[in-house]
């Protein structure tokens, strides 16, 4: 196994199998929004058992489908990103001119990182690329990518049930909708709280903001017929 292949496997092993708090919460929120699109349009005044049953199966089916789509898209995005990294390494090594190599390397870095590491830091990255072994021609799928995709599917799929479960537990549709809404608001707050901690912001404020944003998004989606 050469150095470049080790680099791509290490990247997959450290990043893909365990999603970041941002990614995990994003998948949960996505599943919540999809599910709330169905529960939010259920009429408490006219809905009977058949309407509730139809809503539940539709919500579960929708999140199952989109969990699969999101997992597959994650794998594709990962392969494209990894392929771009390998292409960058080959491009730097083939440039033949230190100034050109430096420009190619620096262009991939954010302005903040470029400013922090300076020219010497860019040169160290450039030298590290030259020190790699043979660079693979194409990216390879890693087991960590598959595990990450499965985790994405699981998060989207499971996020359906806390919101629809009240409709199983309570025969009264009005009560079920209230409990479902309370559960959804709690989950929105917890996701926002976690994001706030991850970003170094005030977690409680971000949690409340996520609830407000979530309610606004759902209102817009329902109004547009989504």
Q: What is the distance between the alpha carbons of residues 134 and 224, in angstroms, rounded to a whole number?
A: 53
DSSP 110: -
| Gap between the Cα atoms of 132 and 175, Å rounded | 62
Question: Which residues have CB under 8 Å from 159's CB, separation 6+?
Answer: 27, 28, 30, 31, 32, 35, 63, 187
Q: How many CB atoms lie within 10 A of CB 58?
A: 14
Query: What phi, psi does 18 have (nearest 5°)?
Result: -115, 105
pLDDT digits (tens, 9 = 90+) for 64-95: 999 999 999 999 999 999 998 888 888 888 88
The answer to whether position 85 is within a domain reads yes
Determine the Cα–Cα distance for residues 173 and 23; give it in Å rounded to an integer: 33
* Residue 70: per-residue pLDDT: 92
Total domains, the chain: 1
In a domain, 48, yes or no: yes
Q: Does 174 reside within a domain?
A: no
The reported pLDDT for the residue numbered 11 is 45
Q: What is the chain's pLDDT, residue by residue, as a tens digit (226 residues)?
A: 344 444 444 444 444 446 777 888 888 888 888 888 887 776 654 556 777 788 888 889 989 999 999 999 999 999 999 998 888 888 888 888 888 888 888 888 888 888 888 888 888 888 888 888 787 888 888 888 899 999 999 999 999 999 999 888 888 888 888 888 889 889 999 988 988 888 888 999 999 998 998 888 777 766 665 5
Give me the helix-helix angle, 3-15 and 143-158, nearest 10°: 20
Q: Would residue 17 count as lying in a domain?
A: yes
Give me the domain span that covers residue 19. 3-164
> Is residue 125 in a domain?
yes
Quick check: is 173 in a domain? no
Q: Is residue 209 part of a domain?
A: no
Is residue 87 assigned to a domain? yes
How high is the pLDDT of residue 43? 60
What does pTM read for this prediction?
0.75
pLDDT at 10: 44
- Are 27 and 153 in contact by the 8 Å Cβ rule? The answer is no
């Amino acid at each position: 196994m050469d150095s470049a292949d080790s680099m791509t496997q290490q990247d997959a092993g450290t990043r893909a199998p365990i999603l970041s708090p941002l990614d995990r919460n994003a998948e949960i929120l996505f599943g919540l929004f999809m599910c709330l699109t169905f529960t939010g349009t259920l009429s408490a005044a006219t809905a009977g058992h058949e309407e509730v049953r139809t809503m539940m199966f539709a919500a579960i089916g929708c999140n199952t489908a989109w969990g699969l789509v999101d997992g597959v898209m994650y794998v594709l995005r990962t392969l494209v990103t990894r392929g771009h990294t390998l292409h960058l390494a080959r491009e730097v090594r083939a440039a033949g001119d230190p100034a050109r190599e430096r420009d190619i390397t620096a262009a991939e870095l954010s302005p903040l990182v470029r400013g922090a590491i300076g020219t010497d830091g860019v040169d160290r990255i450039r030298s590290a690329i030259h020190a790699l072994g043979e660079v693979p021609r194409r990216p390879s799928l890693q087991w960590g990518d598959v595990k990450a995709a499965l985790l994405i599917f699981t998060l989207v799929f499971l996020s359906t049930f806390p919101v629809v479960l009240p409709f199983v537990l309570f025969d009264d549709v009005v009560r079920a909708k209230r409990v479902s809404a309370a559960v959804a608001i709690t989950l929105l707050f917890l996701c926002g709280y976690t994001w706030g901690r991850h970003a170094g912001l005030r977690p409680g404020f971000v949690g409340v903001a996520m609830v407000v944003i979530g309610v606004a998004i759902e209102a817009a989606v329902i109004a547009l017929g989504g």
